């Protein structure tokens, strides 16, 4: 089961690593729509994909308290966290976004200790530190990363995104402990993100109409079905099967895959930093998974 949990988390993060190529094309290269409009479409498509599956498995049964709890979890993860990520990336750039949001696993470990009472042992702390340094080595580009005063608000938004994503990931595991399936949890938390995404998307559409063609529609479907429905389910499944502090390390696959995919598409060779940082991330994952027995 632990292997399934690790593969689920790694696959989700790897999908998100490639997600930025597709979303970047839709948002920046074509200007087909704004970020919150795309987020709303992603959430709606993901919900529409997962609801029939959950209904067929008779898993859409919630108490009133469970609905309130899961909507709050979704609000934190898909409302607040993703909104802060969009705003931070807009004002500080993608390089800052990749660097600052790599702090998410550290906050996952902290919240797992505070909320789930998971042990905060030395190997796991060292694993997070080792993997975080590895990510910094992989993604840090002095020519693009800017931590100066002119981007302080964007950087604070990105830090907020990292904190709230860490909180969301732990709350998902906490919710799963109440006997609900991962599929049911995923459906409801996606719904929880809509109260934030929809109002902003309405404002965006009023100021910048949507432009679509076959390629853009294909990209939106990919983001909704693969990057949202599938990846979010796998990420939540990983936290169901693993300790949150161990599952958090799978997040580091996201920037590594993103850098590798960008280098492949741009036909740029990967430098030594990529392999050194990648090795440190792998060592961190192995250290966190090590059983002293």
145 pLDDT band, cuts 50/70/90, is low
Which residues 6+ apart lie within 8 Å of 275 measured at CB? none
293 pLDDT above the threshold of 50 = no
Torsion angle in degrees (nearest 10) through CA of 228, 221, 268, 128: 0
**Percentage with pLDDT > 90 across the chain:** 27
20-59: pLDDT as tens digits = 678 777 877 787 888 889 889 999 999 999 999 999 988 8
At 249 the pLDDT is 79
pTM above 0.85, yes or no: no
Residue 291 vs residues 4, 130, 231, 263, 288: alpha-carbon distances, Å: 17, 18, 28, 36, 8
CA distances 154 to 60, 87, 97, 105, 253, Å, are 38, 7, 9, 20, 24
pLDDT tens for each residue of 190-246: 999 999 999 999 999 998 888 888 999 999 999 999 999 999 999 999 988 888 878
Average confidence score pLDDT of the chain: 81
Give pLDDT, residue 234.
Answer: 94
Give me the residue label for tokens 């800017």: 146
Q: What is the pLDDT of residue 146?
A: 57
């Amino acid at each position: 089961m632990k292997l399934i949990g690790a593969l689920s988390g790694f696959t989700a993060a790897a999908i998100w690593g490639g997600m930025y190529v597709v979303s970047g094309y839709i948002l920046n290269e074509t200007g087909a729509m704004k970020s919150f409009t795309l987020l709303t479409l992603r959430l709606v498509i993901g919900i529409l994909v997962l609801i029939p599956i959950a209904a067929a498995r008779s898993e859409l049964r919630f108490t009133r308290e469970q609905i309130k709890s899961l909507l709050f979890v979704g609000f934190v993860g898909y409302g607040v966290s993703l909104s802060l990520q969009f705003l931070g990336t807009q004002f500080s750039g993608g390089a800052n976004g990749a660097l600052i949001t790599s702090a998410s696993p550290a906050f996952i470990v902290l919240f797992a200790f505070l909320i789930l009472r998971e042990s905060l042992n030395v190997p796991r702390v060292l694993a997070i530190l080792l993997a975080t340094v590895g990510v910094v080595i992989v993604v840090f580009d002095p020519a693009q990363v800017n931590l100066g005063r002119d981007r302080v608000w964007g950087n604070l938004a990105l830090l907020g995104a990292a904190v709230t994503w860490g909180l969301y990931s732990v709350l998902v595991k906490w919710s799963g402990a109440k006997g609900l399936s991962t599929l049911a949890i995923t459906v409801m938390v996606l719904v929880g993100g809509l109260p934030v995404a929809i109002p902003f998307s309405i404002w965006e559409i009023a100021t910048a109409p949507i432009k679509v063609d076959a390629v853009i529609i294909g990209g939106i479907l990919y983001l909704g079905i693969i990057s949202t429905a599938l990846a979010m389910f796998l990420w939540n499944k990983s936290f169901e099967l693993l300790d949150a502090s161990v599952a958090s390390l799978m997040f580091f696959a996201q920037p590594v895959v993103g850098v590798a995919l960008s280098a492949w598409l741009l036909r740029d060779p990967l430098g030594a930093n990529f392999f050194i940082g990648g090795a440190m991330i792998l060592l961190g994952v192995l250290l966190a998974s090590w059983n002293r027995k």
